[in-house]
């Protein structure tokens, strides 16, 4: 059943809808992982990491809404249910309990890296199929790469000095 008819061909719509659904799952999970760590981070850099995590949560939530609405625009119902996210996210799980600030940063570097790699695949996959959706993925990736850089810089001094 189509409530909204897509301007894309069936083949292009399949490619784009898979990319959008995958991005939605990754972004919802990224927001959950970042918020879980936000609540449990401890250590000398607690405050700066705590605040930085909220920035990632805000970015992921903003972009998840954009992705879901893009899917709806194309006639594809987005699926951000917990079971769907848990079953298909490309991000590892957040550690349980308190998490030292350096481990929190390393976990976010890894999570962001995983999402960025998958976003770049989506950029490549959607270029011919739907440049509008590709543009959405490019903007998301740019924002996530900025967070990735900033979290890498958080722990970078330890690697340089040690």
CATH superfamily of the 10-154 domain = Ferritin, core subunit, four-helix bundle (1.20.1260.10)
pLDDT tens for 91-130 read 988 889 999 999 999 999 999 999 999 999 999 999 999 9
For 133-158, the pLDDT digits (tens) are: 999 999 999 999 999 999 999 887 55
Question: Can you give the residue ranges of every domain in the chain?
Answer: 10-154
What is the DSSP secondary-structure string of the chain?
A: --SS--SS-HHHHHHHHHHHHHHHHHHHHHHHHHHHHHHHEESTTHHHHHHHHHHHHHHHHHHHHHHHHHHHHTT------HHHHHHH-SSPPPPSS-EEHHHHHHHHHHHHHHHHHHHHHHHHHHTTT-HHHHHHHHHHHHHHHHHHHHHHHHHHHHHHH-
In this prediction the pTM is: 0.93
């Amino acid at each position: 059943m189509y409530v909204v008819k897509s301007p894309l061909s069936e083949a292009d719509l399949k490619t784009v809808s898979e990319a959008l659904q995958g991005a939605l799952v990754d972004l919802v999970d990224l927001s959950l992982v970042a918020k879980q760590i936000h609540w449990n981070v401890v250590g000398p850099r607690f405050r700066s990491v705590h605040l930085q995590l909220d920035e990632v949560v805000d970015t992921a939530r903003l972009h998840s809404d954009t992705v879901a609405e893009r899917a709806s625009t194309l006639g594809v119902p987005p699926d951000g249910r917990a079971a769907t996210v848990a079953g298909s996210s490309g991000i590892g799980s957040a550690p349980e309990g308190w998490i030292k600030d350096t481990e929190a940063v390393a976990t976010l570097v890894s999570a962001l890296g995983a999402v960025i790699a998958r976003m770049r695949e989506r950029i490549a996959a959607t270029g011919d199929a739907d440049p509008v959706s590709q543009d959405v993925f490019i903007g998301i990736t740019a924002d996530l790469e900025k967070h990735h850089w900033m979290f890498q810089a958080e722990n970078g001094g330890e690697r340089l000095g040690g």
